[in-house]
Amino acid sequence: MAQPTYEWRPPERGWREQDLFDLPEDGNRYEVIDGSLHVTPPAGPDHHELADDIRMALRQAAPAGWRVIRDIGVRIPDGNLIPDITVVKPGAPRGQLWTDAADVALVVEVESPNSRRHDRFIKPALYAEAGIPHYWRVERGDFGPVVYRYQLVKDVHYDLLGTVGPDDPVQVDEPWPMRLDPSAWPR
C-alpha cells in the first residue's frame, strides 16, 4: 500500500505560528525563523534516549513549581523554535503548545547530525535574542555526553560557562543548584 502524500503550498506571506498547526504530524520538527519554515527530520532513538535522561535528571532536581518539558515550542522574535528540553519557570501558563521565551529559564539542545549547525550557530543566537538566560548544548563525545553550558550576557549573546563531561560531574547553579553528572546518561 502506498504511503499517502501531503501536499501543501507555502503561504503567500512569511510563515507564522498558526501555519504550523496545518502541517502533518509526521515526526519532522517544523520551526519558523524570520518567516521561513525550517524542517528537521526525526531524530533517532539514541537522541531521544539521551534527551529523556537529561530531562529526568533536571526533573528530579527541580524545585517545586518548575517544569521540565520535552519538545514544547518556544516563541522567539519573528519565529518559533522547538528545543529538545525546555525548563519553564513557576507560574507560567500550562497546557500550551507554545510558550513565551520570558517564561523559559533554560533550553537544552541535544546535537544530532541533522541539527549540528542549527544547535551550534543559529539557535543560540535566536535564544539569546529572545532573552532566555541559559542554553545547554549536548554532544556525544567519544567517552560519553558532554554538556556545553552557556549563560546570557547583557541580553545579547551567550558566554560559555564551561563544559561537563562524563568524567567530571560538577555542581551547577542553572537553572537551580544541582549536581550535573553526564556519566549517568547513555553514550
Question: Which structural domain, as residue segments, surrounds residue 162?
Answer: 43-184
Please check the confidence at residue 1 and state whether its pLDDT lies above 70. Answer: no
pLDDT at 8 over 80: no
Cα angle, residue 180 at apex, residues 43 and 155 outer, rounded to 5°: 75
pLDDT (tens digit, 9 = 90+) per residue, 32-62? 999 999 999 989 999 999 999 999 999 999 9
Q: Is residue 2 part of a domain?
A: no
> What is d(CA 170, CA 187) in angstroms, rounded to the nearest whole number?
18
Number of domains in the chain: 1
Q: Is residue 21 part of a domain?
A: no
Q: What is the CATH number of the domain that holds 48?
A: 3.90.1570.10
**Is pLDDT above 70 for 6?**
no
pTM confidence score: 0.92
